[in-house]
Amino acid sequence: MGKVGRISRIIGRGSRWIFAAKLLLSLVAIVFAASVSVTSSSYQAEIGSAVNVANGLVATDKGFSVSPTAGTSAGVSCSSPVSFSASPQTANTTIIAGHLVYDVQVNATSGAPANTPFNVTLVVGSTTYGPLCIQTLALLSGTIDCRFDVGMTLPASPYTFKVTIQ
């Protein structure tokens, strides 16, 4: 029985190793069989921005976004400016659906001069957009979103942009 017992123990140990080897090979096969998908993304960055505001107005950069809808221009001439009022207003260049649009919100404050027109311009890289003409009234409150259609793409990264309200 001594020899049979030893052989039985050796085979028993071997079967554990065979089981472990089969398990390891199965896991390796599953890993190599899994599909791997690769997607690429390109990112753009802005190197700097500046918002110059004069005469008691406050501007808030609302950034770039893709316009889901088209829109006709409003406030592109000071003969028909967009005026501040109790309800929010929008001044914009002609907007084409699917184009990138830059939005800056301008707020009138009590420090702004009454009944005064202001030109809002946007410079992205070396391209100027606008001006849009907005106007304060006797009521010195309210907001106007100034929206500029800048086309399908932005300049090569990095780029700068500047908003001027004067």
pLDDT of residue 147: 96
pLDDT of residue 53: 74
Claim: this prediction has a pTM higher than 0.85: no
Map tokens 């990264």 to a residue.
157
Q: Residue 19: is its pLDDT beyond 80? A: no
Q: Which two tokens stand for residue 149?
A: 């259609």
* Cα–Cα dist 157/55, whole Å: 33
pLDDT of residue 143: 93
When pLDDT is cut at 50, 70 and 90, the band that residue 119 belongs to is: very high
Q: Please name the residues in contact with 19: beta carbons below 8 A apart, sequence gap of 6 or more.
A: none
Q: Which residue has the higher pLDDT, 97 or 125?
A: 97
When pLDDT is cut at 50, 70 and 90, the band that residue 145 belongs to is: very high
Q: Residue 67: is its pLDDT beyond 60? A: yes
Cis link prior to 131 (omega < 30° from 0)?
A: yes
Average pLDDT of the chain is 83
Instruction: Tell me the residue length of the chain.
Output: 166
pLDDT of residue 1: 56
When pLDDT is cut at 50, 70 and 90, the band that residue 149 belongs to is: very high
